[in-house]
């Protein structure tokens, strides 16, 4: 088991206060130690996920997002991210959705779902919800799921999408432009020896959500599979 230690939190805290290239260069060894800690943690999580899902992400190291920010089109010119985050992609046409993790002082969480699906996928999801939202409702209202993840998240339209009735009883779902959930952790929980186990538990809870959304995305409106 590979744990996340105070080393990573301390590095990220100091980086937030000194977000410049000179400081980062002087503290490169701290970054490298933290980076190794993070990818070993991700590697362990990836290995455990094979017990219940198929993942195309080849390694824990490949799951991590770069710490370097793309500042070309941003008003914020700070060169480094002050968190360590990454994702695991599900493998296969019959396994839609993805897992996410985010580690930062006082801002650590895991989650998963469908972030900004393309226009065709989004329209199909909405059409499926319009026809029958009960499978998705059942997942979202499941006691275990709701206790762990709370409510469905994601940017929403202020009104009904074009072509949909604003009086539809499922308009709260139809307004969504993304469909995902998150579970937050305290710093102390991240530092505990069982954090890896907590992450695996959280990812397992996503399975029914992924199943329903995958069905929506791989079934036409006549109920025929498209894969």
Instruction: Report the pLDDT value the prediction gives residue 102, as an integer from 0 to 100.
Output: 98
Nearest to 152 by CA among 194, 74, 213: 213
Max distance between CA atoms of the chain, in angstroms, equals 61
Q: How much is the pLDDT for 133?
A: 97
pLDDT at site 101: 98
Question: What are the residue ranges in the chain where pLDDT is below 70?
Answer: 1-2
Q: Taking a C-beta distance cutoff of 8 angstroms, is the pair 81, 67 a contact?
A: yes
Report the 10 Å Cβ neighbour count for 179: 23
Give Cα 34 distance to the centre of its chain. Answer: 21
Contact 173, 141 (CB under 8 A): no
CA atoms within 13 A of residue 136's CA, in its CB half-sphere: 23
What CA–CA distance (Å, rounded) separates 97 from 178? 11
- Condensed to tens digits (0 to 9), the pLDDT of residues 32-57 reads 999 999 999 999 999 999 999 999 99
Residues 52 and 213: their CA atoms lie apart, in Å, by 17
Which tokens in the block code for residue 178?
Answer: 């993304």
| Residues contacting residue 44 through CB under 8 Å, at least 6 positions apart | 1, 2, 60, 196
Nearest to 57 by CA among 66, 68, 45: 45
The predicted pLDDT at position 73 comes to 82
Q: What is the predicted pLDDT for the residue at 1?
A: 61
Chain segment 53-85, per-residue pLDDT in tens:
999 999 999 999 999 998 888 888 999 999 999
Cβ–Cβ < 8 Å for 117, 216:
no
Confidence at residue 75, expressed as pLDDT on a 0 to 100 scale? 83
Q: Which fold has domain 6-217?
A: BirA Bifunctional Protein; domain 2 (3.30.930)
- Which stretches of 24-83 are assigned E, i.e. beta strand? none
Its pTM stands at 0.93
Place of tokens 């065709």: 120
List the chain domain ranges: 6-217
pLDDT of residue 4: 95
């Amino acid at each position: 088991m590979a744990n996340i230690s105070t080393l990573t939190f301390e590095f990220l805290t100091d980086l937030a206060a000194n977000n410049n290239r000179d400081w980062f260069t002087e503290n490169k060894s701290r970054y490298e130690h933290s980076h190794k800690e993070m990818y070993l943690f991700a590697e362990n999580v990836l290995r455990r996920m094979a017990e219940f899902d198929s993942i195309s992400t080849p390694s824990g190291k490949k799951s991590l997002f770069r710490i370097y920010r793309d500042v070309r089109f941003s008003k914020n010119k700070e060169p480094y991210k002050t968190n360590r985050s990454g994702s695991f992609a599900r493998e296969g046409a019959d396994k839609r959705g993805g897992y996410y993790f985010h580690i930062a002082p006082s801002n650590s969480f895991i989650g998963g779902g469908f972030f900004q699906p393309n226009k065709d996928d989004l329209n199909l999801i909405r059409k499926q919800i319009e026809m029958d939202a009960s499978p998705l409702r059942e997942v979202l209202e499941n006691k275990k799921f709701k206790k762990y993840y709370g409510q469905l998240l994601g940017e929403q339209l202020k009104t009904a999408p074009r072509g949909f009735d604003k009086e539809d009883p499922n308009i709260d779902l139809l307004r969504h432009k993304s469909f995902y959930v998150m579970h937050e952790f305290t710093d102390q929980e991240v530092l505990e020896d069982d954090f890896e186990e907590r992450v695996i538990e959280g990812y397992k809870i996503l399975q029914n959500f992924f199943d329903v959304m995958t069905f929506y995305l791989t079934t036409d409106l006549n109920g025929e599979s498209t894969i």
